[in-house]
Amino acid sequence: QQIQEDLNKQLLDNLVSFLRRSHSEFQGKTTEWTCRMKSREIPTAALVLGVNVTDHDLTFRNLSEALQNNVTPYIALLEAKDCPGIKNLMQKLMGQLMNCSTDVVSLEDEDYVQVSQNRIRCSMKSLVDWYDSVTKKTDSETLSKKRTSSSKHQQSPPVVVIFKDMESFTTKVLQDFIVISSQHIHELPLVLIFGIATSPMIIHSLLPHSVSSLLCIELFQSLSCKEHLSTIIDKLLLTSRFPFKLGEKVLQVLINIFLYHDFSVWNFIKGFQLCIVEHFYSEPLSVLCCQLADAKKRVNSLSHDQCENIRRLPSFRSIILNFGNAFKVTMVTVHVQDQETTQKLLEDLHVYHENYVSVLRCLHVFTCSLPKYPLGKQIRELHCACLENRVWETEDYESSLQLARMLNKSDLETMLQQCVEILVSSSGNKFDKAVEKLKEFLTQFQKLEAEAFQEQDVSVSSQKELQKKTDLYHLQKTLLELKDSRRSKKLTKFEMLRFEVVDYIDSLVRNYLVPADHKTLHEIVYFNTASVLRGHLNAAPRIALHTALNNPYSYLKNQALKSDGRSISNKAPDICIVYKLHLECGRLINLVDWLEAFSTVVTAVEGPNADAASSDQVDDIIHARFIRAVSELELLGFIKPSKQKTDHVARLTWGGC
Amino acid sequence: PAKKNKENKMSNLVEEYFEAHSSSKVLTSDRTLQKLRRRRLSQQTLHDLLKKAPLAYAAEIKELNQLHESLFSKWLLQLHLGFNIVLYGLGSKRDLLEKFRTSLLQDSVHLVVNGYFPSITVRSILNSITEEVLDHIGTFRSPLDQLDFITERFKEDSSLELYVLIHNLDSQMLRGERTQQILAQLSSLPSIYLIASVDHINAPLMWDQAKLSLYNWLWYETTTFSPYVEETSYENSLLVQQSGSLALSSLTHVLRSLTLNARGIFRLLAQYQLENKDNPSYPGLSFQDFYQQCREAFLVNSDLTLRAQLTEFRDHKLIRTKRGADGVEYLLIPVDDSTLTDFLEKEDEDV
């Protein structure tokens, strides 16, 4: 648990710092802009943030921090849910501004008390007469406060008001606030910042012309959430810093939730966190999922049972099968040797990861610029493909190699340059050879350049010849010659080299991008149970209810409940019978008929042993059971009482589900 | 082919929807429960009867529950890691949560909210937090203020921890938007751990993205198949005598305590209403006519006494007055005709 919390924290810290960095540029622009603005209208910044509302909290927090540090101590952050009316808005605004100023200026205690008293008094008065006297008063109070405290400051800093979610504010409140504040813009330099989730059009649809003409709006676009995602995947998954890895299916699930459901980076992180929790909770060997040095220490202190667990891992078994017999015996029995091999295997795994990442990046450099992107545009798609299977066996890989063989020289050169950089920066020392090889390629290319120029000259001259001689016969002849020369050119040095390079990359891929499933002991660091994750994050309560009602056998393992699904089994629980009967009806259901059908089905079970004397009693019990089942269906939301006809209920679902 | 299948299924679903809602004419038989010769069961008798009926598949259900109970320690871990847990699936999850509470939360501060209770409000939840957990006496102007106060306190004092168990988060009283907003904000506090259960098929419609991220749910399927005893005991089913409309027993109870004349007045009205039951445009008996009839039967002697009498009836919801188009007051008994017939028959027997 301890490790896991550490890991969690590390992860989140990393993430937050990254997000901060990605916002900083954007914020920098905004802050600069807020400094600059001085005009008669209210300066307004409209931030277009995208639909992933959940991620915006952090953005705003960072923004207000940045503003606080650089521009002004007066920042108020307003949320729509706090401001149903202009009164609440003013109160909230005052409260926040006063808190801000007390924080920054650090007034005397008495002053602070006075300020808070002021606030209460204002709110009381505003209850009585909210618009005419008090909002003006609060305004004038803000103004006076401004004057007093700004005398301490050198220049008058602007007061920034951030509206977090522009869309959910009521129009009236927003308009009133803007109109009021525009009257005081001379004494109180206000700056508004709107957080917009949809598009800047919303400003014009929310505010009428008379109000929006009071604003001087500038638009700012934030990074799209997809870019965030790819950077996060880059930082979190494609590094060797974090020992914990995601399996292909799990990653796919997370990405799917992101792309098809909510676009929320925060939810992605949450899912990732859940993966970590699940992994460390369910895998007994996950204690070894840490940095290599720590892992080695832990291997030494493994208990016997844990070693047994290692031996039981499927990936470990396959390795035993591949080894010789004598070795196998010692492995199975001897504890110490086991530890040694485990250490060695862990090391292998670690090295594999390091190599994997850099080679993956190299391959990405090659594939991301190909037309039609056979292996995907983003590195995450490539990553998934590599994890899923042996990537070189897929058709997509084949076609992308084919395309790579047709690359022109300058592209190839830049790509190689990038690859060299990546490999040099990677910590794995195994790449010395590869780097050398690639550098050699590069120098060869540079040598080729001279020859290439010559070739160009040749072709240019032949072109000139073409232009000169207009004779048809000669033309044909030269064309044929040109063709010949081209054919022979096919085996120029450049092309040879190109083939060589591509083949080399291919060999690299084959060596290093073996999917993780084929590695020994991969269970320790890979989390692979996607179904658990999907169940917890993306649950489908309706499906669960449907299967439970339709086919109770899937939950209650009783032989009597086995049925083919279509027919109504009379041994099923009451609610299932009632549910199936209700499926056969249309929009309205007659309760009497329903009851009768139910009792027919149920008495078929009890028929043999029911006596005539107690039939009345049985009837009552059946009636009671029916009532219970129907009210349960009502609670579940399948039916509701209808006033359309007496003793009828309306169905709220349709079809067979 | 699988995709095509899916598409087919999709279009089938759409068609089924329109099929179900196309014709406003409903083809069902006209039989009503009244014609069924069986008395309506009261809540109590229903309860007794159900006790007699054996629960089917008790062993299997027990097995299922044990499966869920094995997850308890995992829940606790996940709650501590900042997730909140929501349980869904068929069957009452009340016993399961109770078991979770008794087995793991005995020593810690916890709050149980019975969402199915019909008069629960978000304010009562917040009150129980501020009063019992935080020992704060005092009132708040609005739930939002109260929430702010709670947030403040929990942030100040990191040693405070609170488990909140909500049965039926999707019940009638709690499914409102504002309520959910407040609960979501509450659950987003790191030292408040929330476990809730939902039953309604459309429960997830309550939450938008912002709320979902505040709740930070982990979904757990816990199908228990156990009957919803507590949950449905508040649900006014059609088949049980409804407390909303007047039942025969309560009618007789009230009338027994009245004077003879008052009973006669009610009888007169009831008879008149039954005579006109086949007339759909029957607006009720106008006050003037009624006064005339009562006078003739020597039941009242002045306009004032009849009015006093009627006020009494109205207080007990025995009658309803309606003003007609011509401004005349009409009197109606808001009880269905069959109950009224039963009532009159019984009265005759008594006399």
Cα dist. A539→A64, A102, B66, B88, B174 in Å?
A: 36, 47, 22, 9, 21
CA distance A276 to chain B (A): 11
Both structure tokens of A620:
């009552």
Inform me whether the pLDDT recorded for B201 exceeds 80: yes
pLDDT level of residue A146 (50, 70, 90 thresholds): low
Residue B195 pLDDT: 92
Q: What average pLDDT does this structure show over B180-206?
A: 88
- Separation CA A595–CA B237 (nearest Å): 14
Q: Is A646 helix (H, G, I), strand (E, B) or coil?
A: coil
Range scoring the smallest mean pLDDT among A147-161, A453-467, A506-520: A453-467
> What is the number of other CB atoms lying within 10 angstroms of the CB of residue A115?
18
Q: Which residue of B has its CA nearest to A549?
A: B90
- Within 8 A of A653 by CB-CB distance, chain B residues are 201
- Check CB contact under 8 Å for A555 and B64: yes
- Check CB contact under 8 Å for A592 and B29: yes
pTM of the model: 0.74
Spell out the residues 6+ positions from residue A44 whose beta carbon is closer than 8 angstroms to its own.
Answer: A191, A192, A193, A194, A215, A216, A217, A218
Is the domain spanning A541-651 CATH 1.10.10? The answer is yes
CA distance A600 to chain B (A): 16
Spell out the residues 6+ positions from residue A41 whose beta carbon is closer than 8 angstroms to its own.
Answer: A182, A185, A213, A214, A215, A216
Q: What average pLDDT does this structure show over A480-488?
A: 56
Q: Give CA torsion, residues A452, A453, A458, A459, to 10 deg.
A: 80
- Check CB contact under 8 Å for A635 and B56: no
CA distance A318 to chain B (A): 32
Cross-strand partners of A248: none
A496, containing H or E segment: helix A493-512
Cross-strand partners of A191: A160
- Within 8 A of A60 by CB-CB distance, chain B residues are none
Closest CA to B163 of B237, B103, B221: B103
- Separation CA B257–CA B246 (nearest Å): 16
**Beta carbons of A205 and A211 less than 8 angstroms apart:** no
pLDDT tens, A90-141?
777 777 766 665 555 444 333 444 444 444 444 434 333 333 333 344 455 5
DSSP B2-52: HHHHHHHHHHHHHHHHHHHHH-S--------TTTSSSPPBPHHHHHHHHHH
**Radius of gyration, alpha carbons of chain A:** 36
Q: Which residue of B has its CA nearest to A538?
A: B219
CA distance A214 to chain B (A): 31
Residue A128 pLDDT: 35
pLDDT tens, A435-453?
566 666 666 656 655 555 5
Distance of CA B29 to the CA centre of its chain: 28
- Separation CA A404–CA A502 (nearest Å): 7
Range scoring the smallest mean pLDDT among A24-28, A310-314, B192-196, B241-245: B241-245
Residue A407 pLDDT: 67
- Check CB contact under 8 Å for B33 and A548: no
pLDDT tens, A420-435?
666 666 544 555 555 5
pLDDT level of residue A476 (50, 70, 90 thresholds): low
Residue A101 pLDDT: 57
**Do strands B84-88 and A588-590 pair parallel, antiparallel, or not at all (unpaired)?**
unpaired
- Check CB contact under 8 Å for A620 and B237: no
ipTM for the complex? 0.74
Both structure tokens of A404:
């790579």
A53: nearest CB among B33, B210, B235 = B210
B238: nearest CB among A54, A558, A641 = A641
- Check CB contact under 8 Å for A631 and B235: yes
Both structure tokens of A18:
């990254």
Cross-strand partners of B195: B85, B165
pLDDT tens, A499-558?
566 666 666 666 666 666 667 777 777 888 888 888 888 888 888 888 888 887 777 766
- Within 8 A of B58 by CB-CB distance, chain A residues are none
Distance of CA A495 to the CA centre of its chain: 42
Spell out the residues 6+ positions from residue A128 whose beta carbon is closer than 8 angstroms to its own.
Answer: A134
Tokens 């890895």 map to which residue?
A: A245
Q: Which residue of A has its CA nearest to B26?
A: A588
Q: What is the mean pLDDT of chain A?
A: 70
Q: What average pLDDT does this structure show over A12-39?
A: 63
SS (H, E, C) A142-196: HHHHHHHHHHHCCCCCCEEEEECCHHHCCHHHHHHHHHHHHHCCCCCCEEEEEEE
pLDDT exceeding 90 applies to what percent of chain B?
3
Sign (positive/negative) of CA torsion A503, A505, A510, A511?
positive
Q: Which residue of B has its CA nearest to A617?
A: B49
Residue B84: Cβ-neighbour burial (10 angstroms; 0-12, 13-18, 19+): buried
Q: What average pLDDT does this structure show over A333-355?
A: 72
Range scoring the smallest mean pLDDT among A202-216, A300-314, B190-204: A300-314
Spell out the residues 6+ positions from residue A16 whose beta carbon is closer than 8 angstroms to its own.
Answer: A58
Spell out the residues 6+ positions from residue A154 whose beta carbon is closer than 8 angstroms to its own.
Answer: none
Is the domain spanning A1-99+157-223 CATH 3.40.50.300? The answer is yes
pLDDT level of residue B236 (50, 70, 90 thresholds): low
**Residue B247, amino acid:** A
**Would you call B17 an interface residue with chain A, using a CB distance cutoff of 8 Å?**
yes
- Check CB contact under 8 Å for B53 and A625: yes
CA distance B53 to chain A (A): 7
Spell out the residues 6+ positions from residue A273 whose beta carbon is closer than 8 angstroms to its own.
Answer: A8, A11, A12, B81
Inform me whether the pLDDT recorded for A183 exceeds 80: no
Q: Which residue of A has its CA nearest to B60?
A: A556
pLDDT tens, A551-608?
877 777 666 666 655 666 677 788 888 888 888 877 788 888 888 888 888 887 665 5
**Beta carbons of A199 and A168 less than 8 angstroms apart:** no
Sign (positive/negative) of CA torsion B138, B144, B145, B151?
positive
CA distance A227 to chain B (A): 20
Q: What average pLDDT does this structure show over B146-158?
A: 84
- Separation CA A618–CA A638 (nearest Å): 27
Identify which of A205-219, A564-578, B286-300 has the greatest average pLDDT: B286-300
- Check CB contact under 8 Å for B144 and A82: yes
Cα dist. A379→A237, A383, A522 in Å?
A: 11, 6, 22
Residue A25: Cβ-neighbour burial (10 angstroms; 0-12, 13-18, 19+): exposed
- Separation CA A648–CA A651 (nearest Å): 10
pLDDT tens, A613-638?
466 777 778 888 888 888 888 888 88
- Check CB contact under 8 Å for A277 and B78: yes
Q: At what angle do helices A248-257 and A530-537 cross, to 10 degrees?
A: 20
Cα dist. A427→A241, A246, A353, A357, A440 in Å?
A: 11, 22, 11, 11, 21
* E strands in A444-503: none
Direct distance between the N- and C-terminal alpha carbons of chain B, in angstroms, rounded to an integer = 78
Range scoring the smallest mean pLDDT among A54-68, A145-159, A285-299, B161-175: A145-159
Inform me whether the pLDDT recorded for A366 exceeds 60: yes
CA distance A559 to chain B (A): 11
Spell out the residues 6+ positions from residue B22 whose beta carbon is closer than 8 angstroms to its own.
Answer: none
- Which runs of consecutive H residues, i.e. helices, occur in chain B? 2-22, 43-52, 58-69, 72-80, 94-104, 122-128, 143-156, 177-187, 209-215, 229-233, 248-256, 260-275, 287-296, 303-315, 337-350
Residue A292: Cβ-neighbour burial (10 angstroms; 0-12, 13-18, 19+): middle
- Check CB contact under 8 Å for B237 and A544: no
**Beta carbons of A94 and A119 less than 8 angstroms apart:** yes
Cα dist. A290→A294, A360, B239 in Å?
A: 6, 22, 62
Q: What is the mean pLDDT of chain B?
A: 80
Q: What average pLDDT does this structure show over B198-219?
A: 87
- Within 8 A of A536 by CB-CB distance, chain B residues are 218-220
B49: nearest CB among A8, A537, A624 = A624
Q: What average pLDDT does this structure show over B32-45?
A: 62
- Within 8 A of A164 by CB-CB distance, chain B residues are none
Q: What are phi and psi of B217, to 5 degrees?
A: -70, 145
Domain boundaries, chain A: 1-99+157-223, 228-399+516-526, 541-651
- Check CB contact under 8 Å for A627 and B16: no
- Separation CA B96–CA B221 (nearest Å): 12
Spell out the residues 6+ positions from residue B276 whose beta carbon is closer than 8 angstroms to its own.
Answer: B282
